[in-house]
Structure 1
Amino acid sequence: MEKSVKNCDLNKLESQPPKRLYNYKHKQRGVALMEWAIALGLMGVAATAVISWQKNATDAQMVNDTVQTVVNTATKARSLFGIANDFTGLNTIENWNNAGLVKSPFVWDATNTKILDPWGHDVVVAANTSEFGMQIGGANLGKETCVDLVKGISKFSHQLQVGDSASLASGLTVTADNQVKSVSTDTPNPVAIATGCSETSPVIVFTIK
């Protein structure tokens, strides 16, 4: 009987995993979970960085496309109206559309009879005999996008204003705000660019001769 009990106890002990081995496996499982958590965290950071990079790349491309389109528009407008030195035919958005001056990334909204800039803001156009102008931008434009746009447009514009209060009206009446370029100053004012683009809803108003 005594021998049988001893054998039973021995079998029971042998069937149980050693405590040290159990603790080792438990620790290993904990380390694996921690590694997974760190890996997932790094993947999240990487995904956020990629999305941010894609957005910045898209914004930069949109700015380049917008500036290039404005340049092409100015060239075509000069060929159509500059010979007679009278740009008054560009004093309405309908005339801009009829003259074929609304090109991508700008959009002609036929339903509401208006032009939209690439960021969805209403475009205002105006002209007089010697020059014509555009108003783009507004809420949610973004400071960096605004700065890049102003810098690009300032290279060929005659006058340029930026800020919440800047506006353009029929007959090329410009409401001044932060004056980047004027008829007497050809060099863009960097302080005016930074100040105007830092405002809540920066509007960009520029004229071209």
Structure 2
Amino acid sequence: MDSSLNYEVVSHDLYRGPNALEKFVDRIEEELINIQADLSAPAEMIMVPGDLKTYNKATECWICKKPFIKPSQEALQKFEEAKHRLLEVNEWEASMGEDHPEKKKIQKEYREALSALNRKVKDHDHINGKYRGSAHDTCNKKLRIGFFKTKVPLICHNFRGYDSHPLMKVVSKFTADKLNCIPENIGKYKAMDVGQLRFLDSFQHMGMGLDKLVIR
């Protein structure tokens, strides 16, 4: 599957027998490991002819739609000072052959000063590599994929009905992750988070039985 909404079935599993829910949870955990591996290696940016010209001409962030503003003189000065201190740390380490005692602090100050510039950067899809547009540095960072944090949707038809109850019991036994539910009422759940997994109900958007939705 790629993030341009072109979907492809990459695996298909059918199981009938005892402990079906336990088997389901095992399979989901295996899939999650594979997904984490994919997300941990972001694709390199792919820019086609014309993208660089468009980037250079851009005057607003494609994400927040706000204009790019030239950093203040104060922000530029703080950045230059932080960069100079970081260079001094690197030179000190090169000559001494050991870590500088204030390295982490100075690196943090440099990152904060760089972030304060909120400069224009190239944003791209980390899954397929396609260039998406020019963006503020802060906006770009908000779209970063955390391979152990980004929620992975798990679509279950009629999940908010009875189907979620036995599944919750099994999931709670198999994982140490905390269950977080969005309840509709005392007996129905709109969604459920289990660690990185987010269970969602497709019936809320397609209010028909699967026998009517499946193309035969």
TM-score higher than 0.5: no
Q: Give the TM-score of the pair, scaled to structure 1.
A: 0.27
Q: Give the TM-score of the pair, scaled to structure 2.
A: 0.26
> Greater helix percent: which structure?
1
